[in-house]
Each structure stands twice: as C-alpha cells, then as structure tokens.
Chain A
Amino acid sequence: MESETGIVTIRNVTKSYRRGSQVVPVLEDISFGIRSGEFLALMGPSGSGKSTLLNLIAGIDKVDSGSISIGGCEITTLSDSELAGWRAVNVGFVFQFYNLIPVLTAYENVELPLLLTRLTRRERREHVEAALDIVSLSDRMDHRPSQLSGGQQQRVAIARAVVTDPAILVADEPTGDLDRVSAGEILSLMDHLVRDFQKTIIMVTHDPRAAEKAHVIRHLEKGLLTDG
C-alpha cells in the first residue's frame, strides 16, 4: 500500500458491469495511492479496466465496493449532483477524442467549466487567456474545433482541463488519436503541467513513449494490478 499522505487513496475497489443477466467483473480489489505532483501512467491491454478505473477516480462512475479518497474527500459517498460540483472544482479531463463542443470556439470551449463558477466575465477572460497561453494557442481562440488540427484540439482540451486550476488531471489515452509529433507536444505539455504547475496527472496510455514521461507506471491485467 502507498502512503496515507497521498492525494489519492484507493482501497479495495471492485467494479463490475451487468451484461444482460451476466455480471462481468471489471476491477477486483484494487488498492493503491497517488502522491501529489505525481505523473502516473496506467497501462495494460485493451479491456483490462483502465478507463473504468480512471472514471472511478475522476468521479464519473461509481464503485461497487471499496473507497476512493481524494484530497481528503471520500468521493464514493457523494451524490450525483455533489459529484458534479466536486468534479468541476477538483478534476480536469482530457479525452482521447478531445471531446470539444463543435459549435463553440476554442475560447468558448475553454470557458465552459468557468461558467459554473462565480467568476465575472472579466475574470473568466483572464483565466481563459492564461490557459490558452499555457498551451500556446492564444492566436487560435476564435477558431472552431473543425478549424484546428488534432494536436491543436487536444491542446484546447488541455487548456479546458486546467482553466479551473484543479489539483488532478485525468487523461484517457490523450495521444491515442495523434501523430508522433503532436503526441510528443501533448506529452511535453503534460510534463510542463506537472513540473511547473504541480499538477497530479493520471494518464491511461498504450504508448511506451508516453509512459517514459511518467514517474510511476502501473499495469492492469484483467482487473488486477500486476505491480506496485
């Protein structure tokens, strides 16, 4: 077991899905911790439960049993709407397919999470501009996602993930849909966020080069952690 002082503490988590009358176990008795400022890579074959585990940590899915404590908050006991509020403040999301809203500009996409805060329009503008500056896309803020390359779209997504300044970023195969060069840029950006902004990053990946950047690598196999 990891130290109790970690930002994320996962204890005896199990999760299964129902497929018709069948119960399919996905995660079995998972326990581990993540320290603040850690860059964790979660690896393993397809279908091993990586995304499921990531979703549980990020509070967008519910455990069957076990506990997940993040920054001292036991998120398994929160209701759906409490979780929504909690996510908005504490977690930034980066997806494989960017998941930007096509009808909104880069600026508007990055502004989205801030609409749920009490910030004024002016304050929001400052935050959005700062976030776009981190990902070096200040000159593209009026572009729609369809007018941006894959790598640029993922950078917008990263700006959206960090704009509320959450402690934790979760990324599910963030380079999975990108060419080598763009993937490299995204990974450097993640590295930059860990080093210079003290973010904790949990990243699911297949990419060995992505794993190289990580401080810690964990392997999942058929719902079990095979290391650590």
Chain B
Amino acid sequence: MFMLKYIIRNAFRHKLRSLLTITGVAIAILAFGLLRTLVGLWYLGVESSSSTRLVTRNAISLVFSLPISYKERIRQIPGVSRVGAMNWFGGIYISEKNFFPNFAVEPRAYLDLYPEFLLSQEEQKGFLLDRQGAVVGRKLAAKYGWKLGDRVVLKGTIFPGQWEFIVRGIYRGAQRSTDETQFFFNWDYLNETMRRTIPRRADQVGIFVVGVSNPERAAEVAQAIDSTFKNSLAETMSETEKAFQLSFVAMTEAIMIAIQIVSYVVIVIIMVVAANTMAMTARERISEYATLKTLGFQWHHIAGAVFGESLFIAILGGSVGILGTFPAAAVIEKELSQFFPSFHVATSTTLLQLAAALIVGASSAVFPTWRAATIRIADGLRRIG
C-alpha cells in the first residue's frame, strides 16, 4: 500500500518531466502500433491471395500480352477448372490522384474465380447483361458517391480514349482483408473497341487467371500450362496468385522490412530516452534512498520503488499510446482508403504494443534500480549539502 502511494507520488514529482516522458512513450507506442499494423496488413494481403488460383502471363514480361486463343488450350489442361482473361486497364477517373485498380475481366469467369467478392443475384445479372457494365468495391463507391446505374467515365492510358461505364454492381468483401476498392468491367467491351480502333491490339490478354480444382496440384498444373506453350510464339509463365503478387511487390517487401526495422528503432530510441530520464531521477534521489535504508528499509524495498516508478510511467504512456492507436487507425482508414483497403489494428499488435511498453519500463529501470539498491548508505547521505 505504502509502496504504491510512494511510487505514484514520485512519478508525478516533476510534473513536466513525467508528462514529457509519458507523452514520448505514448507517441512511440502509437507509432509502433501503426507501423506494425501497416506491415501486418501488407503480409495479410499477400497471404490472403488464393492458392486455388494461378496467374499465367507472358514469359518475357508483363508488358507483353498473350493471344486470347490460349484460353481454350489452357482450359483443356487437366486440373484446370476455369480460365478468365484479364487486362490491366489503368484508367484515370477525373484526375491522376484518384488512383484505384481497374481491370477488364470476363464477367462470368471472374465472379466464379473470385467468390470473395460478394454480389447480389440481380447485380450479377445486371453485370453479365450489360456490355458497358462495371462492378466496383463498396469502399470505392462510397468514396466517389457512385450508386447503381451511375455513369462513370475513365480516361484510358494504356487504351486511349474516354471510356464510359455504367455501375451495375457494388460488391462487399467476404473478409475484412478483402480489397473493396477494385473496379472491373467487361473484357468484351475493351476488346470490341480495340477491334474497331486499333485492330492489332485486339484479342490480346494481359493475364489469364486460372482456377485449379486441387490446390495441392497447383504447381503441376502451372508446369503443364507452361510446357504446352513451350517453343510457341508467346511462351507463358504460370505461378500461384500469391507468387505473382509477391513478384509484383518484391520492391514493396524491401520497404516493409525497412518499416519493420523502423518500428523497432522507435522503441529502442524511447528506451534510451526513458532510461536517461530514470537515471537522472534516481541520481537526484540518492540521498533519499540512503535515508530510507538508514531507517531500516532493505535494498529490495528501494529497488521496488525505482522499478515500480519506471514501470508505472511506461505503462501509463503505453496505455495512452495503445488507446490512441484505434482512432489514429480509423483516421488512416478513412483518409488513405485507396492505399489501405482496411486499416484494422489486430489484437496481436495491441499485445505487442503492451509488451513494448513493459520492455521500455523495465529496461529503463535496470540501471537506476541497480544504483539505488546498491548505494552505500554513508556515501548516499554525503550527497546532501
């Protein structure tokens, strides 16, 4: 009881100093939490790509396309359940800063291949029947205020021209981590327009998304696809969607690793700062601790007081940081929705934050605790005056 009172009163002895330390710890723990969340979401995105889907592209590079005629031949390979052609469209909505992924897809195949995009029966029908129909994610629709039946114009970059679409469906994600910011439309619309305007670019496919009936045989199927087109004009390269995503984000992965390192560096910095503050505090109180020892208090009483104070401050700062993480994440989710489809703080992240706060408190207490506990009384008392 007394110890608790003593620890708490000591913690607020220098109000400004304590406030600054608590604020520092809070900011560090908050930053740590947000950075961990960012990294976690990125890996979650990679993890959540399905292992039942393969992506087949031109072996030379993504820049080169594949003929649509490959579709039938891929479908005939054993183990393949579905094939859908897809082109990265890269259209711009009004201004370049309104970035969102948009593709041309084969509607029936795409909806079957991506069951995580939930669409009502009517919307599915509307999409399948309208050549100019488009389906958009719930978040994207909310962002631009699109409703069913709205006309949306994208400016083509890879495929020149002004492209008009009618919103026929607004999908929700089956999971929290499902991307709700995509825009996809009928591949035939793209292809027929190309046939009329730039015929040599018609019947060309960016990638084929291939569904496999047995995920365990995905590698075999990929190999079978690639050997089918060996020595043909356009050789293929097939891999799981996950591997495909990873190759896309290899660069981003380096950034993610850097962010992870930074998240730990933040903790180390606050550890050093807190340790310095605690050492300063303990040094000022050496004669006080010597007095307590004189009165008969033992080293473990003194150690408990110093350690407790350090831990108390760290936990206080840590709690503020943890509580602040949720509103901060909500703001990020709202403001930066095109980059982070869902900025959700995982429970494991909160626990990691708590652990980080405890480590900051404990590590910054080690040296002052040792000093205070081992100070010889006669030396400690001489510090007065």
Classify chain A: how many residues form its interface, as a range. 20 to 34
Pick the residue among B2, B288, B384 that contacts A115 (CB under 8 A).
B2
Interface of chain A: mostly helix, strand, loop or mixed: helix
A97 to B383, CA, bound (A): 11
Take A95-B384, A99-B384, A103-B6 as given contacts and tell me if A81 and B288 are in contact as well, using a CB distance cutoff of 8 Å: no
- Does chain B have a CB within 8 A of A116? yes
Interface code B1-24, partner A: CB below 8 Å = 1, 0 otherwise? 010001001100100000000000
Report chain A residues within 8 Å CB of B384. Answer: 95-97, 99
Residues of A within 8 A of B377 (CB): 55, 60-61
Of A33-41, A82-90, A133-141, A211-219, the one with at least 4 CB within 8 A of chain B? A82-90
Given A60-B377, A95-B381, A116–B291 Cβ distance below 8 Å? no
**C-alpha gap A81/B378 in the complex (Å):** 15
Query: Knowing A55-B378, A60-B377, A103-B10 touch, does A96 contact B385 (C-beta < 8 A)?
Result: yes
State whether the Cβ of A224 lies closer than 8 Å to any Cβ in chain B. no
A102 within 8 A of B: yes
- A81: chain B residues within 8 A (beta carbon): 298
Q: Kindly state the separation between the CA atoms of A11 and B243 in the bound complex, as whole angstroms.
A: 86
Quote the shortest CB–CB distance from B52 to chain A (angstroms): 65
A113 to B293, CA, bound (A): 10
Check if B295 sits within 8 Å of A88, measured CB to CB.
yes
> A112–B294 contact, CB under 8 A?
no
What distance in Å separates the Cβ of A214 from its nearest Cβ neighbour in chain B?
A: 23
Asked if A30 is an interface residue, CB under 8 A from chain B, the answer is no
Instruction: Judge whether B287 and A84 touch: CB under 8 Å.
Output: no
Contacting pair A84 B297 (CB below 8 A): yes
Check if B327 is an interface residue, CB within 8 A of chain A: no
The B interface is mostly helix, strand or loop, or mixed, namely helix
Q: Which residues of A contact B9 (CB under 8 A)?
A: 103-104
Tell me the residues in window 82-123 of chain A with beta carbons closer than 8 Å to chain B beta carbons: 84-85, 87-89, 93, 95-97, 99, 101-104, 112-113, 115-116
A116 to B381, CA, bound (A): 21
B contacts with A, residue count (CB < 8 A): 21
Inter-chain contacts of B294 with A (CB < 8 A): 58, 60, 87, 93, 99
Nearest B-chain residue to A177, judged by Cβ: B385
B292 contacts chain A at the CB level, 8 A cutoff: yes
B145 interface hit (Cβ, 8 Å): no
B296 at the interface (CB under 8 A from A): yes
In the assembled complex, the Cα of A101 lies from the Cα of B13 at a distance in Å of: 12
Q: How far is the CB of A175 from chain B (nearest CB, A)?
A: 14
Chain B: CB-nearest residue to A157: B291
Is A102 touching B13 in the complex (CB atoms < 8 A)? Answer: yes
Q: Quick one: closest A residue to B380, CB to CB?
A: A60
Cβ–Cβ contact A112 & B292, under 8 A:
yes
Specify which chain B residues have a CB less than 8 angstroms from the CB of A115 in the assembled complex.
Answer: 2
Known contacts A85-B296, A101-B288, A113-B295; can you find 20 more A-B pairs with CB under 8 A?
Answer: A58-B294, A60-B381, A84-B293, A84-B297, A84-B298, A87-B296, A89-B296, A95-B291, A95-B384, A99-B288, A99-B291, A99-B294, A99-B381, A101-B6, A102-B288, A103-B9, A103-B10, A103-B13, A112-B292, A113-B296
Per CB-CB distance, the 5 closest pairs between chain A and chain B, nearest first, are A88-B296, A103-B9, A60-B377, A99-B291, A61-B378
19 A-B pairs within 8 Å (CB atoms) are namely A55-B378, A55-B381, A60-B294, A61-B377, A87-B294, A88-B296, A93-B294, A96-B385, A97-B384, A97-B385, A99-B288, A99-B381, A99-B384, A101-B291, A101-B292, A103-B9, A103-B10, A113-B296, A115-B2
Which A positions have Cβ atoms within 8 angstroms of B?
Answer: 52, 55, 58, 60-61, 81, 84-85, 87-89, 93, 95-97, 99, 101-104, 112-113, 115-116, 160
